[in-house]
Structure 1
Amino acid sequence: MAEKTDSNEQLEERGVSEEEKQTGVKPTAEVEAEHVLGEFTKQEEAAIIRKVDFRLVPLLSILYLLAYIDRGNIGNAKIAGMETDLKLTGNRYNVALTTFFVPYALFEIPSNIVLKLVRPSIWIPILVFAWGLVMTLMGTVSTYQGLVAARFFLGVAEAGFFPAATYLLTIWYQRYEVQRRMSVFYAAASLSGAFSGLLAFAIEKMKGVAGLDGWKWIFILEGLVPVIVAFTLYFFLPDRPETAKFLTERERQFVVDRIALGTGSGRGRITNSDKVTWAGIKVAFSDWKVWLAIVPFWACSIGTYGFTATVPTVLKLMGYTTGKAQLLTIPVYTFGMTATLIVAFWSDKVQQRTPFIMGGFTIAVVGFIGELACPHDRLPGVAYFFLFLVAAGLYCPFTAVVTLVANNLAPSSKRAVGMALFISIGNLGGICGSNIYFAAEEPTYHVGFGVSLAICAAGIIAAFVLRKAYQAENRKRDELLAREGEEAIRAKYTEQELLDLGDLSPFYRYTI
């Protein structure tokens, strides 16, 4: 059946260009976007990206720092008198730690779905206010049961922030710009230990003020900070490029077009404006590559949570005093985070993810083997050296794993749900990591180091399989394009259908 053609008057009413009237072919969104991008010089592009950097990255870094301080200050409160006051005997302290991770894993997917329905400048401040309020109220608990309940609700409140923050980066930056930004705000977490210790040292001296113990003031004051910050976020946290008030209209269009064209890493355009649907949720849950990527995430979470909880003990039992053992942890974490930043910039530059995941875990494996084989009491210097390898090997792959998944999910609704699924299940590794280092095995921790070694080896295998799978799919699409031609393939789809296909589009290319 012949298609009905519009008259010139009807075309004019629709705002159709002279070119379309004459040729009957509407310019594609890609052509229009490329035309807009071509109007900007390299200097102008760099200036716009700097504006986005200064507005987004420091803000997310501060929030992540606050989250980690509030999550980890229970350790400072413990030695400030909480352990005695709440009678944390036996494994009660470990139970309180573990309780946090259950809701933290369960509520990440619902939170990111809400993020697609509610503006980030509204939803993220709600999360920040909620965890600050819970932390403040934790300063009123007087029983072990109350502490466990408070840790549960802290997990509920903090659950949505990290997946929301990583998702937010993906709608502002191209795929090979994300990891370096993520590594910067992830590095903020490493500062939490120093900040938390310094703050706790000062706050603990408030013991007796208003009749409260020092450990309670640690919770109260460190909880009030995010409560206050939450009320400012609405005015400073940008939602998406299309509505960014700190950019001009011309700059907003530039950011939207460069993300739409650059993130797909192919000849297709992607969208970040799609709505969450049940079909999209189902697609995200059914992607086997997301589930396989959880294995290297587990390697990071199991290894990191267990490692950070035991490093001071390992150093102390090597013969160092408590104070010196605490100080000796600083170079280890500093080395790990420095390596993470270097790898993140390197990974973005060469546009590769899986080699850095496999390389990082290989270094961690060497470190864990060294810790298992080295006699800590006779060769403390050697054992200390291997801790550096463990730290670098566990921290470096983390941002690479997260950005690998973020780079390979489209459209944005699938990315939001898929990343939340990946991060939520991955964070369950924290439960395992918190319970595999047994006091009876100090300082060699055969089970803890052995399990961490095994999961790192599994992470290497999983990353290799993912690399081969993504390479095979890219090769298949390249062959299809060469065989049928771009015009013939485009003729099978509407522009909207290609957008809806996301990473399943024949023009989409996966990051490897």
Structure 2
Amino acid sequence: MEQINKPEQIWTEKVDAEESATMQNINEGQNEKEVKKYMRRLDRIILPAISILYFFEYLDRGNIANAKLLGLDKGHDTANEGVGPGRSTLSSIQWQTVIMIFYVGLVLCQVPGSIGYRIFPPSKWIAFGVCGWAVCSVLQVTAQGYVSLLVCRIFLGAFEGLFGTGIVYYLSLWYHRNEMGLRIFWFLGPTSIAGAFGGLIAYGVGHIKARVPNWKLLFIIEGIPCFLLGLFMLYWLPDRPTKNSRFKGRQAKIAIERYEMEFADSGTGIRKKHFVMALGDWKLYAQAAIYLPIASLISSISGFLPTIIEDLGYSTPTSANLMTVPPYAIAFFVMFTTSYTSDYYRERGLHLAVLAMVAAVMYALLAALPTSALRAKYACVCLVVPSVYALYPPSHAWVANNLGNESKRAIGLGAYTAMGNIGSIAGTFFYPRVEAPEYIKGHWVACAMAACVVLQVLVHKWWLTRENKRRESMEGPVEKGNIDVTEMADEAVGFRYIT
């Protein structure tokens, strides 16, 4: 009897196993659908919001260059005695200082800004930074001279530093490492749109007939909506997966599960151990050394592109502002493409090297081409702007990917951007007015900066690849699943660097 029942028992167990496997597959399919639905909603909530905010941040940061063409530098008295037509204009060095001082405030507040995201609810910290820089932007219309304009610009930079640095950290709370590149594009991509729209808005404002000077209208039109958006963020943005009011039920559980897959150390605050680890990590300084020339190139473009284009032969300020639109529009699509492919292939270094190489060649051509080759030079501008701006997302994603855990990431990203943005200060001196219209020295300096990026990126990629191979030989292949980075961050067993 026993022997007769055995085949039936075996058959029954086989059916049960098949049913169990089928149910597991169904559950996994349901889970996958639920996660995709959650991700779509998460993207709809976070990405448009931070895109719009960074659009206005970059608009308010860069509108000083458009305002210059609308008469700002001709309205400020260098003796700090007043504003009005007929008074002395800002000298070349004073104008460069006005551009530069913004980055001083930015650099000084980037580490505190990044820590603020870790200590305070991110939605409130974001609103504080946004409303602060919006007020400073509008207050530029009240500047009564060179010194007061400097004060407005340094506080504008300070509030933008409190906001912008920690956004990459904020995104890392919600997205995994292989999802960061494209999401950082939606954060940084609006820099190119802002450049394009900034030119269009300035072109339109330049045709307004009003009692108020056009450059003042520009600051008002671009500053007030930003303040209102900052207040709206208090309601709109979720704080962190473990404490949020935007997701309920199953989606709230998915948010926490995804967070715990990436981080084992939930909570807030900065651990002293990770503070020391971040500031003692030579790789962070290597990445900052890569970002420094990138930041110098971006600041030189945002501060001087309208003037450079005007000197190419577009004689009126309004036409020069309008001709800044195509380079920035092309930059948006290049940034999107490179961000997508760098995420898809989980690769950062080669993307950065190729882009920087294109930028170096274009800068060399700008320096070498004769002044009469206006169309060829403008074509180079239309290629150099996209190649430089597209360096932004992969470089930020690269450093965020490799810092290990949440606490170290908060410190590391602030230090990385602060050190790198020293290059932004240097970039404001690439194109002194006395070298117009050729700007040969400035183009060669920019070419050298781009070449420096290529060299540093390739060396850093080589080291990370070698380190991954060393860990692979010691630890064996990484098993799919959670890696405990609570204590050791990127030094944890099983952690592999993205190259």
In the superposition, the TM-score normalised over structure 1's length comes to 0.83
Aligned to 1:249: 249
User: Are 1:436 and 2:426 matched, yes or no?
Assistant: no
Shift of 1:362: 1.0
- Confirm whether residue 216 of structure 1 aligns to residue 216 of structure 2: yes
The 5-angstrom pairing of residues 267-278 of structure 1 reads 270-273=264-267, 275-278=269-272
Verify: 1:337 aligned to 2:332, yes or no. Answer: yes
Question: 2:359 touches 2:387 (CA, 8 Å); kept in 1?
Answer: yes
More moved, 326-335 vs 175-184: 326-335
Asked if 1:511 is matched to 2:495, the reply is no
The answer to whether the 8 Å contact 2:104/2:154 transfers is yes
Separation in 1 of the partners of 2:346 and 2:300? 31
Whether contact under 8 Å (1:126, 1:230) holds in the other structure is yes
The CA distance in 1 between the partners of 2:68 and 2:385, in whole Å, is 25
Specify the code of the residue in structure 2 equivalent to 1:228.
L
Q: Within 1, Cα distance between the matches of 2:377 and 2:488?
A: 51
Tell whether 2:75 aligns with 1:85: yes
Which one of 368, 376, 379 corresponds to residue 371 of structure 2?
376
Distance (whole Å) between structure 2 residues aligned to residue 317 and residue 307 of structure 1: 14
- Measure the CA separation in 2 of the matches of 1:59 and 1:80: 30
Structure 1 residue 145 corresponds to structure 2 residue 147: yes
The equivalences for 1:115-264 within 5 A come to: 115-200=117-202, 205=208, 207-208=210-211, 213-261=213-261, 263=262
Q: After superposition, where does 1:344-355 map in structure 2 within 5 Å?
A: 344-355=339-350
**Which residue identity lines up with residue 284 of structure 2 in the other structure?**
V
In structure 1, the residue matched to 2:47 is 57
For each residue in 1:322-352, what CA deviation from the matched residue of structure 2 results, as whole angstroms up to 9, or x when unmatched?
A: 3554443322222222111101101111110
Whether the 8 Å CA contact 2:99–2:303 is kept in 1: the answer is no
- What is the distance in 2 between the residues matched to 1:197 and 1:108? 28
Distance change (3 Å), C-alpha of 1:85 and 1:330: closer
The alignment-based identity, stated in percent, is 27
| Offset of residue 498 of structure 1 | 4.6
Distance in 2 (alpha carbons) for counterparts of 1:326 and 1:201: 6
- 8 Å CA contact 2:65–2:302 kept in 1: the answer is no
For the structure 1 residues 498 and 57, does the alpha-carbon distance in structure 2 shift closer, same or farther, using more than 3 Å as the test? closer
Alpha-carbon contact 1:108-1:424 (below 8 Å) kept: yes
CA shift digits 1:258-304 (9 cap, x unpaired): 3443x4xxxxx644535302322111111111111122212222122
Matches within 5 A, 1:363-402: 363-377=358-372, 379-402=373-396
Classify the secondary structure of the residue corresponding to 1:507: coil
Q: Which residue identity lines up with residue 59 of structure 2 in the other structure? A: I
Deviations 1:108-156 (A, max 9, x none): 1011112111010111111111111222322222122111111111111
1:218: how far off?
A: 3.2
Task: State the Cα deviation string for residues 23-64 of structure 1 (Å, max 9, x = none).
Answer: xxxxxxxxxxx99x9474433222111100000000001111
1:466 Cα deviation (Å)? 1.6
CA contact (8 A) 1:357 1:401 kept: yes
Distance 1:446 1:199, change over 3 A: closer
Q: Describe the shift of the 1:142–1:321 C-alpha distance in structure 2 as closer, same or farther (beyond 3 A).
A: closer
1:242–1:253: 8 Å Cα contact kept in structure 2? no
SS across alignment from 2:57: helix
Q: Which moved more, 1:438-447 or 1:54-63?
A: 438-447
Contact kept? 1:76, 1:200, Cα under 8 Å: yes
Q: Secondary structure at the match of 1:372?
A: helix
Q: Relative to 1, partners in 2 of residues 1:460 and 1:327: Cα closer, same or farther, differing over 3 Å?
A: same
Show CA shifts across 1:58-88 (max 9, x none).
Answer: 0001111111122122233334343233124
Does structure 2 retain, via aligned residues, the 8 Å contact 1:138–1:219? yes
Long gaps (5+) in structure 2: 1-23, 78-88
Against the structure 1 CA distance between its residues 496 and 277, is the aligned structure 2 distance closer, same or farther, given a 3 Å change threshold? farther
Shift of the 237–206 alpha-carbon distance from structure 1 to 2, 3 Å rule, reads farther
User: Which residue of structure 2 lines up, in the alignment, with residue 29 of structure 1?
Assistant: none
The alignment partner of 1:431 has SS state of helix
RMSD: 2.7
1:350 counterpart letter in structure 2: Y
The question of whether the paired residues in 1 share the 8 Å contact of 2:109 and 2:158 is answered with yes
Deviation string, structure 1 residues 84-114 (Cα, Å, up to 9, x no partner): 3312421222211111111100111011112
CA shift, 1:407, in A, is 0.3
CA 1:473–1:366: 2 relative to 1, 3 Å: same
What do the CA deviations read for 1:410-443 (whole angstroms, capped 9, x no partner)? 2111101101111111112111111021333333
State the distance in 1 between where 2:485 and 2:328 align.
45
Task: Give the direction of change, closer, same or farther, for the CA distance of 1:232–1:327 in structure 2 (3 Å limit).
Answer: closer
Maintained 8 Å contact 1:318/1:443: yes
Aligned residue in 2 for 1:74: 64
8 Å contact from structure 1 (residues 306, 448) kept in 2: no
Q: Deviations over 1:351-405 (max 9, x none)?
A: 101010111111111112222222231x333323322332232122221111000
> Unmatched 5+ residue regions in structure 1?
1-33, 264-268
Inter-CA distance 222–371: structure 2 relative to 1 (3 Å threshold): closer
Residue identity opposite 2:176 in structure 1:
Q
